[in-house]
Amino acid sequence: MKTTFLLVAVTPLLAGCLASEQARPDPAYAVTLAPTPVQLPPAATDGSIFQASAGYAPLTSGARAARVGDLLTIALIERTQAVKSNSANVDKSGSFGITPPTTGPLSVFNPSDVSFGGGTNFKGGGSAQQSNALSGEISVTVAQVFPNGTMLVRGEKLIRLNRGDEYVRFSGLVRIADIGPENIVASSRVADAHIDYGGAGEIAQASKQGWLQRFFNIVSPF
């Protein structure tokens, strides 16, 4: 009876935890909107054509992002591969022997009984290999424009599937000169890039160990 009551009490709790496991927007990657004239601080040196505090885009830049709030497409082209191997081989041997006289009073000793020998042999090796690949596109917004021609961009993409959610978060520094004519820049050209790709839901939950298994992995000495 106690076991039945325990299962009835725990089942809704587990169901609520699984239902709440979903991808949620991260405030750190929130969309940056273009500032309105009310939000801009007064600047005595700005002209009537453009506001330097919001960034300046020359006519030759076309539709490239250059001001706070502009959209920019990041082409995710990430591919890393690492290979490491090492080996060691040690071999050592030695011997020692004494041959006593075969005549005279000491002839009672057997020369075959006086001999020594030894040897050491060690051989070891190890190897490791890891590779990662990520491709796709994500549109971000310009959060800040710096005087040296670089921009801080950030954004996220949430994808809700029928059996779970996926998200891609991106932030980094982009040079205006690296932006292509189609307003696209490769992720390999982004400095201090932070790329976060993950998922939540039934599929992601099924690929993880349960809390009880994780507990035994911590306390187990093996």
Residue 90 lies in a domain: no
Q: Is residue 106, in this structure, part of any structural domain at all?
A: no
Quickly count: other Cβ atoms within 10 Å of residue 74's Cβ.
25
Tell me what pLDDT residue 159 has.
85
* Domain extent for 189: 26-37+48-80+135-219
d(CA 85, CA 43): 60
Q: What is the enclosing helix (H) or strand (E) of 13?
A: helix 2-19
Mean pLDDT, residues 127-144 taken together:
90
Residue at 210 is within a domain:
yes
Which one has a higher pLDDT value, 105 or 217?
Answer: 217
Burial class (CB in 10 A: 0-12, 13-18, 19+), 37: exposed
Q: Report the C-alpha gap between 82 and 68 in whole angstroms.
A: 38
Quick one: what percent of the chain has pLDDT higher than 90?
23
* pLDDT of residue 170 exceeding 90: yes
Q: Name 18's Cβ contacts closer than 8 Å, sequence gap at least 6.
A: 202, 205
Report field, pTM of the whole predicted structure over 0.85:
no
State the average pLDDT for the chain: 74
Confirm whether 187 is domain-assigned: yes
Whether 20 is in a domain gets the answer no
- Look at residue 12 and tell me if it is in a domain: no
Q: How confident is the model at residue 8 (pLDDT cuts 50, 70, 90)?
A: very low
State residue 9's pLDDT score. 47
Q: Which residue has the higher pLDDT, 107 or 188?
A: 188
Domain count, the chain: 1
- 23 within 8 A of 158, measured Cβ to Cβ: yes
Residue 96: pLDDT band with limits 50, 70, 90: low
6 found inside a domain: no
Instruction: Give the model confidence (pLDDT) of 136-161 as tens digits.
Output: 999 999 999 998 889 999 999 988 87
Least confident of 10-19, 70-79, 107-116: 10-19
Provide the pLDDT for residue 206.
65
In a domain, 120, yes or no: no
CA dist., res. 154 & res. 158, Å (int) = 14
